[in-house]
Structure 1
Amino acid sequence: MKRIFFFLCLFSLIQLQGQKLIKKAFVGPETKYIQIDSKYCYQVDLDTNNINEVKVEASIEGEYSKDLVITIEEQGATVLLSAGFQPNFINPNDKLSAHKVISIKLRITLPEHKEVSVYGTNSNVQATGDFKSLMVKLSDGRCVLENVIANVEVATQKGDILLKVPSGNIVAKSTYGEVQKETIPQGEKLYNLNTVEGRIFLKKTK
């Protein structure tokens, strides 16, 4: 297992521009799965490109920005990406501290045709690109998918879901919310969208 931090130079290129951190990490052909833990992120923007690396741009604000790091772990065919604290960080007994640290914005560019999963609570996730599959699980966060080429599964508790695609096999269900949909032609990819209290919006693109 390889553990790569922003403050290390192993398989990475790091730049510091104000509060923006930029990292590139090599991803070999044996990597099939990418899992993103967005617990401390209020916004995650995903896209894909014909590359063999993961590129992460992190914009960090807040009192504890100097203590935050991005971690990438390789476990066999899986790459794990998360935001967290340096090992020696001690969280003060401050009722507002949890609110203060949830201030990371991530922009992530991934290789095409990978199986990608995103897990978060209050994170807003926006994705576009060509994935083998994409799974997003959120609580209050909103999920926006625009021209995502993949078999997709999205589940939220309260967060809204917006899907913009030219075609697809779409299954959309909101237990206590509403589903607003335009007429979208049948297509090859499956989009399975579920929310308990949120709303679902389906829009056709060209």
Structure 2
Amino acid sequence: MLKKEARKLYRQKRLDLSVQQMSKMDDLMLIQFQSAGVPFLHSILSYWPIEENNEPDTHLFTEYLKFRNPELKVCYPVSDFSSLTMQAVVTDIDTPFLKTELNIHEPDSRDILLPEHIDLVFVPLLAFDTNGYRVGYGKGFYDKYLASVRPDCIKVGFCYFGPVDKLDDLHEFDIPLDIVVSPDNTYVF
């Protein structure tokens, strides 16, 4: 399957989900994630789910990790659309978030944590294949960022649906995920 086809198909499948269906699947994914055996972490890069895109509720997974690791540094991305890059900004309970014109919530802070200090990254996706490659929104922000993290940084995606067999149009800069959590399974690559 081509990324463009998967992007269109799975974006629509996600938009067709009801709030009740998503809530149930988010709870099931949290159970899967809790069973995944994620090691002790010092820092993560999460992201604020875009409600208009029916994205999985990453707040559940972030809060679970914060509960397990009280000293955890939680970062959120701030994007630069002119260079298609992003930075991880450290947040706390008092950090305000601003909603951009693209419905992305970004922290209103400039306390940047360098990529080599991130232990785990939650990576948004619309679909993924059986080799851990994902279909995102098509701008390449995360693949560029993931190219700069440590090799042992854990890359995790959350998807309401199972994998497609294979994405046929991968590029040399596509970086596979280590784990994808769905309501029914945890895929480890």
Q: Same fold (TM over 0.5)?
A: no
Tell me which of the two structures has the higher relative contact order, counting C-alpha pairs closer than 8 angstroms and 6 or more residues apart: 2
The structure whose Rg is larger is: 1
More strand by share: 1
In proportion to residue count, which structure has more helix?
Answer: 2
Q: TM-score w.r.t. structure 1 length?
A: 0.27
State the TM-score, normalizing by the size of structure 2.
Answer: 0.28
